[in-house]
Amino acid sequence: AAGVIQSPRHLIKEKRETATLKCYPIPRHDTVYWYQQGPGQDPQFLISFYEKMQSDKGSIPDRFSAQQFSDYHSELNMSSLELGDSALYFCASSLSERERTDTQYFGPGTRLTVL
Amino acid sequence: AQTVTQSQPEMSVQEAETVTLSCTYDTSESDYYLFWYKQPPSRQMILVIRQEAYKQQNATENRFSVNFQKAAKSFSLKISDSQLGDAAMYFCAYSLGANSKLTFGKGITLSVRP
């Protein structure tokens, strides 16, 4: 079965640079979520999209922005990178139905290192 | 706000034995969903099991089962016949419903002794 695809898998950037992370959800899934997992931490919710509209926002810095495109893939744009942005970034997707939620399936993650 | 608590940072189990991982949560909602995710050294997040709060029957997936106590807001995971491949970080997570984020506990590291 097809899974969530994330690219790139690894990314190394310098401070103050910009990074773009991409996520391709499972086919027919209409909801995408982004999470950030720091070393030794639990994943923290950043932002989500349902049918290409932002549906929820968590502790996402103003330096970060995201969107979901017409083909349902999503991109997380991160500017003015800081050392503290070094983390594993997960994308998850789900097929949401009215008054219930389907399970979130996670991609393999993008490991971002900021030097 | 909803919170998820995993008070045990580490546990160890002998291969082929049974182990129970604990999780408690706090919510004022009556309808919600609970999950256990496994994160092996590869860091992939893998769904282990899911429980709908409106269902009284505890979920089971092969060697994995849960003990869901809604009144006590407790959601423990039992792993039977533990295998070396079960060694991983296990996260308990909570979700409110459609299009809702997951709120995770701090996780527990499970090691399996051969």
Question: What gap in Å lies between CA B57 and CA B39, rounded to an integer?
Answer: 26
Domain at A5-107, CATH class: mainly beta
| Contacting residues of A for B105, CB less than 8 Å apart | 42
Residue A28: what pLDDT? 86
Residue A79: what pLDDT? 97
Residues β-bridged to residue A33: A48, A92
Q: What is the pLDDT of residues B71-110, one digit of tens each?
A: 999 999 999 999 999 999 999 999 987 778 999 999 999 9
CA distance B114 to chain A (A): 25
Q: What is the pLDDT of residues A5-45, one digit of tens each?
A: 999 999 999 999 999 999 999 998 889 999 999 999 999 99
Q: What residues make up the domain containing B15?
A: 3-113
Residue A2: what pLDDT? 83
Residue A96: what pLDDT? 75
Find which of A101, A103, A112 to mutate to test the B interface (most B CBs within 10 Å of its CB). A101
Q: Is the peptide bond before A39 cis (omega within 30 degrees of 0)?
A: no
Number of domains in chain B: 1
Residue A97: what pLDDT? 65
| Contacting residues of A for B97, CB less than 8 Å apart | 99-101
B36 and chain A: CB distance < 8 Å anywhere? no
Q: What is the pLDDT of residues B12-46, one digit of tens each?
A: 999 999 999 999 999 999 889 999 999 999 999 99
**CB–CB contacts below 8 A, A to B:** 64
Question: What gap in Å lies between CA A105 and CA A94, rounded to an integer?
Answer: 6
B45/A88 CB distance under 8 A: no
| Domain ranges across chain A | 5-107
Residue A76: what pLDDT? 98
Compute how many other C-beta atoms are within 10 angstroms of the C-beta atom of residue B13.
18
Residue B14: what pLDDT? 97
| Contacting residues of A for B42, CB less than 8 Å apart | 108
A101/B47 CB distance under 8 A: no
B1 and chain A: CB distance < 8 Å anywhere? no
Q: Which of residues 56-95 of B touch A (CB under 8 A)?
A: 91, 95
Question: What gap in Å lies between CA A47 and CA A79, rounded to an integer?
Answer: 16
Supply B62's token pair.
Answer: 């092969």
CA distance B69 to chain A (A): 21
A104/B102 CB distance under 8 A: yes
Is pLDDT at A99 greater than 50 in this prediction?
Answer: no
Residue of A26, A35, A45 lying closest to A109 (CA atoms): A35
